[in-house]
């Protein structure tokens, strides 16, 4: 018997948590999850070649998301987190109800980011006036409004689509002076709809990368447009806590996961470009691999 056969036979199987987004935004979720649950092995997939998703129709978002989810299950993921509000709003339910039972006979599941975010809102708002900043697809799905109203009937909810924020981030322009115009545009629009808003939900996983500009805008302009102080909710920490809780309640999934603390990065775009940008966003070196999703 060769030494390599020995290692092949007895090497422990890696079972990962898959984290999927249309592009770089899901890194904000991955980062928070890995801080909370560093022991597991992760596989990140960014469909950067086809981002942004947020301006596509339901059919396209569902088809792209399903391709990504299948890819992750075929590459040793037992759980997939849709670290993308657009995919969570448009594709999660159909995938859970229609596709999961057909994907294979393994024990696998897909989780989204909207529910854990919604559950945090009532503890934060004092006025009961809440603003949702999200992609056009998430806004038109009304997912936030419906989920919030299911749990809390007395909220005043306003939504604002921010179609140009994701392209700014995907193109690395989000901290440059040109981004100020678009930060001002959408924040001004949502507060003009309802100046009583005291809680703004960043309902897109890309948006925390704009947080320095958003915080600066609120500091400079908040008093002019809003009646009181404004809290901004970003999702990473909430999703991390929710996943930890899910794994505690579901040992049938937790027990499948390997605990090597590793993370691989996949992108449908150029791997060097992804590695460079992701290293900046995560403040840690990333070595990505290119894949095709068709």
- Listed in sequence order, the DSSP H helices in 76-141 are 85-90, 92-94, 100-103, 114-120, 136-141
Structure tokens at 12: 């422990």
Q: How far apart are the C-alpha atoms of 54 and 139, rounded to whole Å? A: 9
The 45-84 site mask, x for binding ligand DGL (CB under 6 A), equals: ------xxxx-----------------------------x
- Residue 166 CB, shortest distance to ligand DGL, in Å, is 4
Q: Is 263 a catalytic residue?
A: no
Give the residue among 200, 203, 174, 239 at the shortest CA–CA distance from 29.
239
The 254-293 site mask, x for binding ligand DGL (CB under 6 A), equals: ----------------------------------------
CB atoms within 10 A of CB 179: 18
Give the residue among 50, 274, 269, 51 at the shortest CA–CA distance from 163.
51
- Pick the stretch among 91-99, 121-129, 146-154, 199-207 that binds ligand DGL (CB under 6 A): 199-207
By beta-carbon proximity to ligand DGL, the closer residue of 158 and 205 is 205
Q: How far apart are the C-alpha atoms of 12 and 277, rounded to whole Å? A: 32
Could you say whether residue 160 binds ligand DGL (CB under 6 A)?
no
The 232-261 site mask, x for binding ligand DGL (CB under 6 A), equals: ------------------------------
Q: How far apart are the C-alpha atoms of 102 and 255, rounded to whole Å? A: 22
Which chain residues interact with ligand DGL by CB under 6 A? 21-23, 25, 51-54, 84-86, 135, 138, 166, 204-206
């Amino acid at each position: 018997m060769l030494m390599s056969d020995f290692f092949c036979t007895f090497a422990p199987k890696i079972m990962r948590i898959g984290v999927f987004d249309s592009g770089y935004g899901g890194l904000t979720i991955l980062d928070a999850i890995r801080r909370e649950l560093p022991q597991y092995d992760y596989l990140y997939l960014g469909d950067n070649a086809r981002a942004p998703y947020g301006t596509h129709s339901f059919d396209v978002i569902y088809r792209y998301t399903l391709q990504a989810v299948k890819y992750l299950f075929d590459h040793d993921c037992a759980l997939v987190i849709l670290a993308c509000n657009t995919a969570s709003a448009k594709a999660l339910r159909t995938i859970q109800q229609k596709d999961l039972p057909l994907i294979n006979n393994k024990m696998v599941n897909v989780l989204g980011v909207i529910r854990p975010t919604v559950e945090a809102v009532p503890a934060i708002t004092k006025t009961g006036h809440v603003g949702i900043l999200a992609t056009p697809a998430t806004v038109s799905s009304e997912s936030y409004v419906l989920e919030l109203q299911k749990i809390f009937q007395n909220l005043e909810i306003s939504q604002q689509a921010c179609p140009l924020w994701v392209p700014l981030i995907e193109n690395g322009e989000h901290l440059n002076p040109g981004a100020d115009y678009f930060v001002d545009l959408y924040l001004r629009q949502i507060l003009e709809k309802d100046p009583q808003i005291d809680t703004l939900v960043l309902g897109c996983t890309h948006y925390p990368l704009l947080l320095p500009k958003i915080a600066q805008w609120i500091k400079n302009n908040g008093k002019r447009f809003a009646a009181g102080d404004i809290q901004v909710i970003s999702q990473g920490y909430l999703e991390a806590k929710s996943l930890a809780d899910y794994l505690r309640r579901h040992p049938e999934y937790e027990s499948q996961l390997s605990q090597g603390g590793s993370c691989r990065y996949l992108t449908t775009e150029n791997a060097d470009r992804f590695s460079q940008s992701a290293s900046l966003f995560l403040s840690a070196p990333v070595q990505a691999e290119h894949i095709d999703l068709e």
